């Protein structure tokens, strides 16, 4: 579903991503770990076609994102660290607006149902987003992914700043999306959440994918040791 083939990006001669080979299948949550500047956000931006690769290609469902920018964007939902919603609109109205941009018309009842499925309390659905917590706003993003039947989720530090309860809720929603068959790429600093949520874990350092692990085959303590060893290298 998601594929990077020798994907590279340089800025002013400095490699932000270097010869990345990566495949993420439907029903997988791939957690990309790394320090600031490791290349995680650049990787996501390359899949979003927000920047052009210096070399190689990024593909979604077999389509090169630079050659098929519209078709590939229809298949994905992007949730950044701080999801931008219209603060004067309610959760329902935001969901209807953004789905409308994709040609999907939702009734109020359908919108509330999707928001509830994403974990938002029903009494919050018609309230202005300006009063939402960060965790509530992220749930609107998941509701958008559910409503659009997104095949791909691209997440950039989505749990940063969330309290433990909200972070746990978000992890449960990712499990739901995985069970629906979505391919999820999540850039994160949270080793614990990567272990608990991920199917596979990739560690990036200075633009290079230095190690891949199966989440089920590594303990929390071993993951931390492996990660720190790469960061000190």
pLDDT tens-digit series, residues 20-51: 999 999 999 999 999 988 999 999 999 999 99
* pLDDT the model gives residue 163: 83
CA distance 137 to 173: 13
One domain, residues 11 and 84: no
Contacts of 115 (CB under 8 A, 6+ apart): 91, 92, 95, 122, 124, 125, 139, 140, 143
Question: Which pLDDT band, with edges at 50, 70 and 90, does 66 fall under?
Answer: very high
Domain count, the chain: 2
* pLDDT the model gives residue 177: 86
Q: What is the pTM of this model?
A: 0.90
In a domain, 86, yes or no: yes
CA distance 86 to 150: 21
On whether the CB atoms of residues 10 and 54 are closer than 8 A, the answer is yes
* pLDDT the model gives residue 159: 83
pLDDT tens-digit series, residues 8-19: 999 998 999 999
One domain, residues 58 and 81: no
| Model confidence at 131: pLDDT above 90 | yes
- Tell me the residue range of the domain where 45 lies: 1-69
One domain, residues 89 and 147: yes
Share of the chain above pLDDT 70, in %: 100
In a domain, 143, yes or no: yes
In a domain, 217, yes or no: no
One domain, residues 57 and 143: no
The domain that holds 162 is classified in CATH as 3.40.50.300
Q: Which of 69, 90, 121 is the last residue of a domain?
A: 69
Report the SS3 class of residue 144: helix
Q: What is the pLDDT averaged over residues 175-182?
A: 89
One domain, residues 63 and 85: no
Judged by average pLDDT, the poorest of 67-71, 74-78, 96-100, 161-165 is: 161-165
In a domain, 208, yes or no: no
One domain, residues 120 and 155: yes
């Amino acid at each position: 579903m998601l594929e990077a083939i020798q994907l590279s990006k340089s800025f002013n001669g400095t490699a932000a991503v270097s010869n990345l080979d990566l495949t993420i299948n439907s029903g997988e949550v791939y957690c990309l770990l790394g320090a600031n500047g490791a290349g995680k956000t650049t990787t996501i931006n390359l899949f979003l076609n927000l920047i052009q690769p210096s070399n190689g290609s990024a593909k979604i469902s077999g389509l090169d994102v630079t050659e098929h920018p519209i078709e590939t964007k229809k298949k994905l939902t992007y949730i950044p660290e701080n999801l931008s919603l219209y603060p004067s609109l309610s959760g329902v109205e935001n969901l209807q607006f953004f789905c409308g941009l994709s040609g999907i018309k939702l009734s109020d009842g359908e919108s509330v149902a999707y928001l509830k499925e994403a974990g938002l309390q029903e009494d919050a659905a018609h309230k202005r987003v300006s009063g939402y917590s960060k965790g509530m706003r992220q749930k609107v993003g998941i509701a958008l992914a559910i409503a659009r039947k997104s095949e791909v989720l691209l997440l950039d530090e989505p749990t940063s700043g969330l309290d433990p309860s909200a972070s746990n809720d978000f992890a449960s929603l990712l499990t739901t999306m995985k069970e629906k068959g979505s391919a999820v790429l999540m850039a994160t600093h949270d080793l614990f959440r990567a272990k608990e949520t991920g199917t596979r874990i990739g560690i990036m350092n200075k633009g290079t994918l230095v190690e891949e692990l199966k989440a089920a085959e590594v303990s929390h303590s071993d993951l931390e040791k492996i990660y720190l060893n790469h960061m000190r290298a």
